[in-house]
Amino acid sequence: MSFDDQLPPKIRLLRAAAELLANSEGSAVSTRQITKLAGVTAPTLYHHFGDKEGLFDAVVSAGFEEYVAGERDFAPSGEPLEDVRRMWDNHVQFGLSQPHLYLVMFGNIRPESRPAIVADAEALLEEMLNKAAIAGQINVPPREAARSILAANVGVTLMLIAEPVEERNLELSTMTRDSMVFAVSTETARGAAAEDSGKSSVVVAAIALNAALQASHSDQLSSSELKLFLEWLHRISSSS
Amino acid sequence: MSFDDQLPPKIRLLRAAAELLANSEGSAVSTRQITKLAGVTAPTLYHHFGDKEGLFDAVVSAGFEEYVAGERDFAPSGEPLEDVRRMWDNHVQFGLSQPHLYLVMFGNIRPESRPAIVADAEALLEEMLNKAAIAGQINVPPREAARSILAANVGVTLMLIAEPVEERNLELSTMTRDSMVFAVSTETARGAAAEDSGKSSVVVAAIALNAALQASHSDQLSSSELKLFLEWLHRISSSS
DNA sequence: CCACTTCATATAGCAACGCTATAGGTGCTA
DNA sequence: TAGCACCTATAGCGTTGCTATATGAAGTGG
């Protein structure tokens, strides 16, 4: 019951809270569960942490410090924007591996209780984007870029957490990540105009696809599939 | 005390909950406050709404319906991507004008209680992006684009809510918005210099055709042919 | 006109919650 | 040994979400 004896109660409380937060499936975690698992009584909790949220903040800080530490060890790949992408993935991974902790951190933030964690995460991203800026790789001030990317990162992570585990599609994350990094970077010639594709009917689209397919030798379909596919395309596109 | 007499209790509960949610500064809203303000007793609430979350969902739905209604009246500007931007701004505006409602909707979503609202918002965006796809303006399937944009939109809105009102900088929103729309659109010659220029036009054409086909119920193909055709289209358009 | 069901609301209260007033125990310093 | 912090426990307050049960009103079939 009191799982970890002879450690100081403060640490036992932290561990008990972390364990319950990590394992509780959606339902809230009560102070009574925590104190029971830690083998202490209620006043001990309030003596050390002030209130329930104080305990959770402490747990979150510990978890986040750990995550940030692993982040820093592993950061410099030479390509700052690649590092930004990896920080994004790490953020998502952190949220998915400890969803309840994550929701405590980012899901319930309000103006009057904005956790320092958000600022920390922002600073970490900004630091990396600063390197990219020095290398002339971004076209937006690093602070704004960091805030923007972090916001999108949080949104994606929350969406993924909200999805049933078996339906989670990490492509949402990589796609949004690349969109954000791309939009912020100077990697591309943004001003160049594309071909005018103003027409919008089925026929026009089918003709365009038909031409494009024949020109590019797509290997997504086998040759027999392609033949039938093109025949159908022809039927569609010749039906005005 | 019971502020709106002679209305049905169900509606009085909805209004009381909405008012308390809108005015409560961060602190939680209790069922007792709600029922007292509505002038009814507890079982009435549970008879009509099941539980507290059911009430909140109903309030949120009502508020969201209102927001969606104003959205639809005002939508077709002829330029789908511009409409997407305006939907983004409306989303942010909704979150900032009713932050507690918004947090109930998007801040606490968990796998087992994912509100239908998220799906609704996604569908609304997807509908608009579908128009863009038909016009050949996006290079990503509309559903994925909608999920991605919505995720970023939610993240930005939560970040803005978390900031003190006087520090709120809407530039975070416009910048992230434009980044997402830009990354998804074909407005630019993204791949022109890269190796995949031919393939990317196939992808764009396939996406446009897919959207157009589903919108127009073409009868050029039988339903079984259409099914297979769409599956191939999906394979082409989801190849990266 | 009366039983009968159905729906909607109220009385009263349970178990669990976050939290605290108060007191007792422990180890240190004088 | 006395005094003093510090830490922890006993016991319980007020509030929470929710419900077992009962009562009233409204319609329906005989």
pLDDT tens digits, A63-116: 877 777 777 776 677 788 999 999 999 999 988 988 887 887 777 666 655 566
Q: Is B39 exposed, middle or buried (0-12, 13-18, 19+ CB in 10 A)?
A: middle
pLDDT at B86: 92
Q: Would you say the C-beta of A42 is within 7 Å of strand C?
A: yes
Q: Whole-number Å distance, CA A115 to C1' D8?
A: 30
Report residue A1's pLDDT band, with 50, 70 and 90 as the boundaries.
very low
Q: B171: which chain A residues are within 8 Å (Cβ-Cβ)?
A: 144
Long-range contacts of B59-64 (CB under 8 A, 24+ apart): B59/B14, B59/B17, B59/B18, B59/B21, B59/B101, B59/B104, B60/B101, B60/B104, B60/B105, B60/B115, B60/B117, B61/B116, B61/B117, B62/B14, B62/B18, B63/B18, B63/B94, B63/B98, B63/B101, B64/B94, B64/B105, B64/B117, B64/B120, B64/B121
Q: How crowded is residue A195: how many other Cβ atoms within 10 Å of its Cβ?
A: 12
> Which chain B residue has the Cα nearest residue A209?
B205
Contact A193, B185 (CB under 8 A): no
Q: How many CB pairs under 8 A join A and B?
A: 228
Which of A117-131, A201-215, B78-92 shows the lowest mean pLDDT across its residues? Answer: A201-215
> Which chain A residue has the Cα nearest residue B133?
A200
What is the identity of the amino acid at B109?
Answer: I
Say whether A197 and B137 touch across the interface (CB within 8 A).
yes
pLDDT tens for residues B153-177?
Answer: 999 999 998 888 888 999 999 999 9
pLDDT tens for residues A136-181?
Answer: 788 788 889 999 999 999 999 999 988 888 889 999 999 999 999 9
Across all strands, nucleotide nearest A31 (CA–C1'): C18
**Which nucleotides along chain C are within 7 A of a protein C-beta?**
8-13, 16-22
Say whether B112 and A140 touch across the interface (CB within 8 A).
no
Backbone angles phi, psi at B191, to 5 degrees: -100, 5
Q: Would you say the C-beta of A46 is within 7 Å of strand C?
A: yes
Alpha-carbon distances, residue B126 vs A85, A163, B96, B175 (angstroms): 26, 18, 23, 21
Q: Whole-number Å distance, CA B192 to C1' D9?
A: 73
Of B109, B161, B192, the CB nearest to A162: B109
Alpha-carbon distances, residue B172 vs B49, B179, B204 (angstroms): 38, 11, 29
- C-alpha triplet B80, B85, B86: angle, nearest 5°: 95
Residue holding tokens 């027409």? A199
Q: Whole-number Å distance, CA B30 to C1' C13?
A: 18
Contacts of B106 (CB under 8 A, 6+ apart): A158, B95, B118, B154, B157, B158
Residue holding tokens 């329930």? A52
Say whether A151 and B155 touch across the interface (CB within 8 A).
yes
Mean pLDDT of chain A: 77
Q: Would you say the C-beta of A31 is within 7 Å of strand C?
A: yes
Residue holding tokens 């942490």? A49
pLDDT at B230: 64
* Mean pLDDT on A120-145: 85
**Closest CA of chain A from B187, distance in Å:** 6
pLDDT at B236: 60
What is the identity of the amino acid at A177?
Answer: R
Contacts of B185 (CB under 8 A, 6+ apart): B81, B132, B137, B138, B139
What does the pLDDT profile of chain B (240 residues) look like in tens digits?
445 666 788 899 999 999 888 887 666 789 999 999 999 999 999 999 999 989 988 888 888 777 777 777 766 777 889 999 999 999 999 889 888 878 877 776 666 555 567 888 898 899 999 888 888 888 888 999 999 999 999 999 999 988 888 889 999 999 999 999 999 887 654 433 333 333 345 555 555 565 556 555 555 566 666 667 666 766 665 554
Q: A198: which chain B residues are within 8 Å (Cβ-Cβ)?
A: 135-136
Reported pTM? 0.75
Q: How crowded is residue B106: how many other Cβ atoms within 10 Å of its Cβ?
A: 27
Q: A178: which chain B residues are within 8 Å (Cβ-Cβ)?
A: 183
Contacts of B10 (CB under 8 A, 6+ apart): B48
**Which nucleotides along chain D are within 7 A of a protein C-beta?**
7-12, 15-21
pLDDT at A207: 45
Secondary structure letter of residue B104 according to DSSP:
I
Contacts of B91 (CB under 8 A, 6+ apart): B121, B153, B154, B157
pLDDT at A27: 67
Q: Whole-number Å distance, CA A31 to C1' C18?
A: 8
Contacts of B168 (CB under 8 A, 6+ apart): B96, B160
Say whether A156 and B155 touch across the interface (CB within 8 A).
yes
Residue holding tokens 């939610």? B154
Q: Is A26 exposed, middle or buried (0-12, 13-18, 19+ CB in 10 A)?
A: exposed
What is the identity of the amino acid at B212?
Answer: A
